[in-house]
Chains A and B, each alone.
Chain A
Amino acid sequence: MTVKQRREADRGQPLITCRNLWKIYGPDPAGLLKAHGGKPAAQAIRDSGHVAAVNDASIDISEGEILVVMGLSGSGKSTLMRCLCRLVEPTSGTLRVDGQDLLAMDERQLIEIRRSKMGMVFQNFALLPTRTVLDNVAFPLEMRGQRTAERHERAREMIRLVGLEGREQYFPRELSGGQQQRVGIARSLAIEPDLWFLDEPFSALDPLIRREMQDEFLRLQAMLGKTIVFITHDFDEALRLADRIAIMYEGEVVQIDTPDKIVLQPATDYVAKFTREIPKARVVHVRSLAEPLDGEVPDGPALQGDATIASVARTIVQAGRPYLPVLDETGQPTRRLDCGRALALLFGEEEAA
């Protein structure tokens, strides 16, 4: 079993639960909400000169899950993340993190939970320019008052983890963008957070470095198994990293689903527009297309359920059969794949769903 499968298997309680979360900017956000019974229509918000950066978001994020929030700039994804860690104060709604009511916390409690449970990585790295790499990584530990020797030891460990050993005494401006973001990642992991927020962490990097950092991220996550909220505007990145994707449009979460479902069953035209250019066969897994057996197991080579259609394309074509058997987690051929549908997906014909 891969780490991902294991995580999916024992995914338990949601770590973050938010219900009807609103963040409205404008002259009188609270008044607006009150006047419309907590659910103002888009037209009413606009007419009164307000902007809803987060519009009635209700999300559960399970332990060990990677939720990628995806949307164009100005869609509210950054604000949503900042509401989830209360860097931005939500206008209304409920938000529970690990069973605690985050919105009821005072400043002291908030500082306490950030010191023990949360880490964040920023788009432009946000390193402190006057501190060395070592002191940047040790910064959150210093804030909670850990002794120098102890925090440096932990920081060195983190720097090793992100592959920057030897650069401990460098200053941020002496590092490349990719290296700086590695420092940002090490800093966010220093306190061993349960919750890891990443705000477009790789958007400021070159495409090649970005790819490398995504691999690095997956490697770390395979080791650490954090609960992750990851923001990006890059759909490929989202497909690559996500357990689930939340797509935002003008403050609203329009669909929140697995990559397969987003591609196969886009909830709105807006989501469909995103998926149109995507080579779907590389996203969709065999099990997402599999259907129940019609009596008997079809002949031909059996396919793994967690393989992508693209990866089994050659097998399907060479077999030349209408149906092929699909193996479940226990290795039994309990379902079958309609090869016609698979090929339609492979050749980008729109009939897929």
Chain B
Amino acid sequence: MTALAPTTHLGRDAEAGLRPRHKALLLLGAFVALVALKHLLPAGLVRPPDWVILPVGQWLSAAFEFLREDLGLEAVTRLFAGFVAWHLEILGNLLLGGRGGLGLPALPWTVIAVSGFMIGYALQGWRLAALSGGVFVYLALFGQWRYAMETLSLIAVSAPLAVLAGLALGIAAARHPRLEAALMPLLNVMQSMPHFAYLIPVVVFFGVGDHAGAVATAIFATPPMVRMTLLGMRRLPPEVVEAGMMAGATRWQRLRHVEVPTAREDILVGVNQVIMQCLAMVVIASFIGAPGLGYRLLLALQSLKIGTALELGVSIVLIAITLDRCSKAWVERRPVHDAAERPWHERHRTLLVWLGLVALAFAAASLHPWAYEVPRRQALSTAPFWDAIVDWTTVALFEPAHQLRTMLSLHVLIPLRDLYLYLPFAAVALAAAGGGYLVGGLRSALVCLGFVAFVALTGWWDRAMITLYMVSFAVFVCLALGLPLGIWASRSDGRGRRVLLLCDTFQTFPSFIYLIPMVMLFQVNDVAAIGAVIIYAMIPIVRYTVEGMRSVPSSLHEAVRMAGADGRQRLLNMELPMALPHILVGINQTIMFALFMVIIAAFIGTQDLGQELMRALSANDIGKGLTLGLCVASIGLLFDHILTEWARRRKAALGLA
């Protein structure tokens, strides 16, 4: 941070000739001095002394205990759990048969596949239809049907819950500024908490199983819906709201007929985000017994069946792409008028074709059992194919992968980890506060210090430093590779578009997926974990670099060209400074992605906060789990604060705000 500080714009509070560059150097000097003179420091500055460490975990446990038993919240959650379980049963019954519910036999897979096909067609056309229909056919023929339907029914229950809750909260927050003020910090913390941290309270209140998985998923997916609803309501043109009032609409009529339909696009973007968040979380909810593809993947990875894991991974990826494309197509679908007054059957042709296809599918299912359900044993399997690839890579790539792993571990990762653990507590606190001070003055310094203090006071300092070391190394590599990649991609329109599409697609995959190829290459260790983190966290920095570079107005390009600047001069003096606010947002996201992934990577064995979180999960220790989750959130929010503030100032300085 300090090295880049000279570019910040802090003219206003420069006192007595101390320029930002000098302040940064001064802070850097103090930091180096603290590290170098570590052995002279009192023990309390090297590590937070024991007596300041607060039993935050116990407090939280006690608070939840109080909520659960004394306030009788458990009765409420039981009721809610029953409600969710009932829906899951009905859906499970429709998609999978058996299992109570309505007591009906399952729908034939062909019926679901043609429905998927027609949904794709109705939303966008033939290409999306081919994708959505094709994915269901693939799932059925390759024996993934049952798991995929379990996953989909979880999403089908939790996504509407999240959408409704988010919509209600978002609308309420748009109406009542006080609620918004209370909600925003809560959302910030929620969105920087790792997935695992959500699971523990849910286990405590809802137990384990599919309904608990659905609840955890719904809670996890709600924040983006609240944000998008709020954004949509905020962006309503005031005239449209006034038009509703002048038409004599009551409050409810205005909400239903004017405000929600007009904010439709933002709300549907929220729905898209909810669905993708649900998919990501459903995979992770397998840790608390949610069935489906994620659970199978977990089992396969635990027993190192890489071929099976890859096969499941492909199914998850296909579902992710389909859900994303369909929900995005829904966002973009704009109504088109009917040319003339056509008869009913022509206006509803899609509906009729769907009904016809469904009837056909039912008929086919009654004629041949394979059109009803492809037996798992008869199904095609791609596992042998993937196994062959895995075998080949382990043989062919074993040497290079092994060497890379050894080299990275011995010469980079372990020394880096030791360095982070060597850093005195006071030096880290100084660096955080200094970073805050440079971008946002005294207030930011205090905020940053607060985040550091929280981690220190909870007593998880060393674990947090290990998390920080993994995150910072991964982010460093991401920036070193992602920035040039983004700049290269932004050099031509077509390339930029293709790279953005690629980023879009990769971003829809649940983060868990990225562990599979890394485990395949490096087995289970820190290198594999960091590798997965790097791949996943690379996405935002590439995307925002491309977007930032392409947001530079062409008139500016022309002006700088006419001033006789060569390519390098253009890049350094005009494009990068102009794109910096975008790039800062990208870095911020990269850090967040890295943090999330580092915690998930705990599953393949790390020694950081994530590992402790996994332990808390298996011990159902709600206090410890939430404390660890808040520690991770503190680290995330610390960087978020510094980078957001910096980006804001740069934007203001460039007149973009």
Residues of A within 8 A of B243 (CB): 120, 122, 126-128, 187
Categorize the interface residue count of chain B. 20 to 34
Closest to B241 in A: A126
Q: Mark contacts of A127-144 with chain B using CB atoms, 8 A cut-off: 1 yes-contact digit, 0 otherwise.
A: 111111000000110111
Summarize B's interface: helix, strand, loop or mixed: helix
The reply to whether B245 and A114 form a contact with Cβ atoms under 8 Å apart is: yes
A169 within 8 A of B: yes
B572 within 8 A of A: no
The reply to whether B239 and A129 form a contact with Cβ atoms under 8 Å apart is: no
Q: A128-B257, A128-B258, A129-B262 are in contact. Are A85 and B246 (CB under 8 A)?
A: yes
CB pairs A–B below 8 angstroms (22 shown)? A82-B242, A111-B250, A114-B246, A114-B248, A120-B246, A122-B239, A122-B242, A125-B239, A126-B237, A126-B239, A126-B242, A128-B257, A128-B261, A128-B262, A129-B261, A129-B262, A143-B248, A143-B257, A169-B338, A171-B334, A174-B336, A191-B248
B485 within 8 A of A: no
Closest to B245 in A: A87
B499 within 8 A of A: no
B249 within 8 A of A: yes
A169 to B237, CA, bound (A): 23
A75 to B247, CA, bound (A): 26
B337 within 8 A of A: yes
Tally of A-B Cβ pairs under 8 angstroms: 79
Residues of B within 8 A of A130 (CB): 261-262, 264, 335
Which residues of A come within 8 Å of B, CB atoms? 82, 85, 87, 111-112, 114-116, 118-120, 122-132, 139-140, 142-144, 169-171, 173-174, 187-188, 191, 197
Residues of B within 8 A of A139 (CB): 247, 257
Residues of A within 8 A of B262 (CB): 128-130
Q: Mark contacts of B536-577 with chain A using CB atoms, 8 A cut-off: 1 yes-contact digit, 0 otherwise.
A: 000000000000000000000000000000000000000000
CB distance from A78 to the nearest CB of B (A): 10
Known contacts A111-B250, A169-B338; 14 additional CB pairs below 8 A are A87-B242, A112-B248, A119-B246, A120-B242, A126-B240, A126-B243, A139-B247, A140-B246, A143-B247, A143-B249, A143-B253, A171-B334, A171-B335, A187-B243
Closest to B248 in A: A115
A200 to B117, CA, bound (A): 48
In the complex, which of the residues B242, B243, B246, B338 has the most CB atoms of chain A within 10 Å of its own CB atom? Answer: B246
The reply to whether B336 and A140 form a contact with Cβ atoms under 8 Å apart is: no
A85 to B246, CA, bound (A): 8
The reply to whether B337 and A114 form a contact with Cβ atoms under 8 Å apart is: no
Q: Mark contacts of B256-276 with chain A using CB atoms, 8 A cut-off: 1 yes-contact digit, 0 otherwise.
A: 011001101000000000000
CB distance from B429 to the nearest CB of A (A): 40
B311-340 at interface with A (beta carbon < 8 Å): 334-338
A267 to B585, CA, bound (A): 56
CB distance from B231 to the nearest CB of A (A): 17
Residues of A within 8 A of B335 (CB): 130, 132, 171
Closest to B338 in A: A169
A267 to B161, CA, bound (A): 64
A116 to B240, CA, bound (A): 20
CB distance from B258 to the nearest CB of A (A): 6
Residues of B within 8 A of A128 (CB): 240, 243, 257-258, 261-262
Which of B261, B334, B337 contacts A132, CB < 8 Å? B337
Which of B253, B264, B337 contacts A169, CB < 8 Å? B337
Closest to B339 in A: A169
Residues of B within 8 A of A132 (CB): 335, 337
Residues of B within 8 A of A170 (CB): 337
A176 to B257, CA, bound (A): 23
A123 to B237, CA, bound (A): 11
Residues of B within 8 A of A85 (CB): 246
Residues of B within 8 A of A112 (CB): 248
Residues of A within 8 A of B337 (CB): 132, 169-171, 174
Residues of B within 8 A of A82 (CB): 242
In the complex, which of the residues B243, B258, B264, B336 has the most CB atoms of chain A within 10 Å of its own CB atom? Answer: B243
Shortest 10 CB-CB contacts between residues of A and residues of B: A115-B248, A126-B239, A140-B247, A126-B243, A114-B248, A120-B246, A130-B261, A169-B337, A122-B239, A170-B337
CB distance from A130 to the nearest CB of B (A): 4
Residues of B within 8 A of A144 (CB): 248
In the complex, which of the residues A122, A171, A174, A197 has the most CB atoms of chain B within 10 Å of its own CB atom? Answer: A122
Residues of A within 8 A of B237 (CB): 124, 126
CB distance from B251 to the nearest CB of A (A): 8
A197 to B243, CA, bound (A): 11
Residues of A within 8 A of B247 (CB): 114-115, 139-140, 143, 187
A130 to B248, CA, bound (A): 19
A145 to B213, CA, bound (A): 44
